[in-house]
Amino acid sequence: MTDVLLDTPRAPDRIDAGTGGCASGATLREAAAAAGKAGVLERYAADYPQGPHDQPQSMCPAFGSLRVGLRMRRTATILSGSACCVYGLTFTSHFYGAKRSVGYVPFSSETLVTGKLFEDIRDAVHEIADPANYDTIVVTNLCVPTASGVPLQLLPKEINGVRIIGIDVPGFGIPTHAEAKDVLAGAMLAYARREAETGPVAPMPGRNADRPTITLLGEMFPVDPIGIGQMLDPMGLAAGPVVPTREWRELYAALDCAAVAAIHPFYTASVREFQAAGRSVLPSAPVGADGTAAWLKAVGEACGVSADRIAEAQNRFVPAIRGALAANPIKGRVTLSGYEGSELLVARLLVESGADVPYVGTACPRTPWSDPDREWLEARGVHVQYRASLEQDIAAVDDFEPDLAIGTTPVVQHAKSRSIPGLYFTNLISARPLMGPAGAGSLGPVVGGALANKDRFLRMSEFFEGVGQGPNTGVWEKEPVDRPQFKARYAAKRIAMAKAEEAVGS
Ligand code: SF4
């Protein structure tokens, strides 16, 4: 009987394949290459080039692909990884409202090194592959099973009509959770493309097949695809599905499009599938007045729309966007950083709203799909940092001393510790409309409210002045004394041990 658990991870007895998880990228990468995953890692290295750091600086990357799977109807998700990783991933999934079970196949040192883990995964997949419940089962190797070479590619491609997709999503090969979304979206598109090439596929219910559609690549606020559809309407076009999709049949409709809009620019594997299907892929997004005018023109031209109809769409929406921007001005200096992939788009909106934006950092890599946004921002003096590290984002706050820092949790914490108001990018900025007229008016109130908090931060800093920093933070009966000599002693011991190990190894 296969040991399939739902959300009840069990600690493995001992893990032999590599040891320290997130912090031991190089060790695990070497182990994975030696265990037969060299090809997968090479493809990931090309698709998702590493930045100044070789380890994720945000949440576990596998959260991205896990979330994509959990959001799809009739899709089962099974994780194969260390219990601590699975615990964290399931916790985070439920924190973000997944309301779905996550399957887990636990392992021990023995099942990992003898190949029994793969047998257990295969049995688990057979056990739940019921077409009454599922269209698809996604199995994900986390760091340790990837490093051990657990061969998910040997799983059957289909059982009882249920599609089986196995992916490796190690933190030492995928730098951000954004790019992990692409790993699963790309694998699903590849599967769906093969199905469509070999025979008729199920139509998407309720799909309006009268008009050519534009597939939208990248998760966005639910109102944005509706707004994009309205902007495409005067050109005789319609908005197609958003990829990652919410159900399998949408994948066929996504592939069956007139063109693909790479709204988020990091979906490299997905773009490869669309291009293999003969679809052209367009960069940037309809954000702000300039961005929307340029995007409508690019989409119209790619779809053979006449210049008159393109102008009609532009004339209907661009003045409305200018009006919304003017009605919601943003005054102040803002630094911006995040790992969602929409950072450059948000920066464009801020600049068009009147903000002084000296720096935008994104944890995502540079691709052709954000080139127009980068060029537009750089022409206005904005420093664009791809694969930005936490250190670079924090240095930008220190160097530019903004009136507001929009960023990840540690960046916002740093800003607030300096009495600079901060806004979390993920929760407060990327969770609102950005496209077209709705997006143009959405940032002003929230950013304006945060900018107005400067005095409150100054008062708080004054109030908490002297409560301590670093090891002295908090309320103490006796003020703690830092002991730098202990740290120095242990550091010297660690260095001596490392040298001794090196001497033995050489
Ligand atoms: S699976 Fe995620 S949490 Fe676990 S070691 Fe890898 S990167 Fe870290």
> What is the biggest distance separating any 2 CA atoms in the chain, rounded to whole angstroms?
77
Is it the case that residue 44 has pLDDT exceeding 50?
A: yes
Indicate the average pLDDT of the chain.
90
Calculate mean pLDDT across residues 234-255.
Answer: 96
How high is the pLDDT of residue 494? 87
Decide: 238 and 213 in contact? Cβ < 8 Å: yes
Helical H runs in 256-380?
A: 268-276, 288-302, 307-327, 343-352, 371-379
Rounded (to 5) percent helix, strand, coil in the chain = 50, 15, 35
When pLDDT is cut at 50, 70 and 90, the band that residue 475 belongs to is confident
**91 CA from centroid of ligand 1 (Å):** 14
Same-fold call for 5-175 versus 213-321: yes
Calculate mean pLDDT across residues 392-420.
Answer: 95
When pLDDT is cut at 50, 70 and 90, the band that residue 23 belongs to is low
When pLDDT is cut at 50, 70 and 90, the band that residue 13 belongs to is very low
Calculate mean pLDDT across residues 100-122.
Answer: 93
Calculate mean pLDDT across residues 395-407.
Answer: 97
When pLDDT is cut at 50, 70 and 90, the band that residue 18 belongs to is very low
Is it the case that residue 8 has pLDDT exceeding 60?
A: no
Distance CA 314, CA 309 (A): 9
Q: CB under 6 Å to ligand 1: residues?
A: 21-22, 56, 60, 62, 81-82, 85, 88, 142-143, 171
Ligand 1 atom closest to the Cα of residue 55 is 7
Topology classification of domain 5-175? Rossmann fold (3.40.50)
How high is the pLDDT of residue 2? 38
Ordered by start, the domain boundaries in the chain are: 5-175, 213-321, 329-462
Is it the case that residue 4 has pLDDT exceeding 70?
A: no
Is it the case that residue 1 has pLDDT exceeding 60?
A: no
Nearest CA to ligand 1 atom 5: 21
Mutate to test the pocket of ligand 1, among 28, 66, 143 (most ligand atoms within 8 A of CB): 143
When pLDDT is cut at 50, 70 and 90, the band that residue 24 belongs to is low
Q: With CA atoms as reference, report the closest residue to 13 among 115, 142, 112, 90.
A: 112
Which pTM was predicted?
A: 0.88
**143 CA from centroid of ligand 1 (Å):** 6
Percentage of residues in the chain having pLDDT higher than 90? 72
**Beta-sheet strands, E only, within 353-401:** 356-362, 383-385
When pLDDT is cut at 50, 70 and 90, the band that residue 245 belongs to is very high
**171 CA from centroid of ligand 1 (Å):** 6
Helical H runs in 33-76?
A: 38-47, 62-70
Burial, 327: exposed, middle or buried (Cβ in 10 Å; 0-12, 13-18, 19+)? exposed
Ligand 1 atom closest to the Cα of residue 63 is 2
- CATH class for the domain made up of 213-321: alpha beta
- CATH class for the domain made up of 329-462: alpha beta
How high is the pLDDT of residue 208? 66
Is it the case that residue 505 has pLDDT exceeding 50?
A: yes
How high is the pLDDT of residue 14? 37
**142 CA from centroid of ligand 1 (Å):** 7
Q: With CA atoms as reference, report the closest residue to 346 among 369, 359, 49, 300.
A: 359
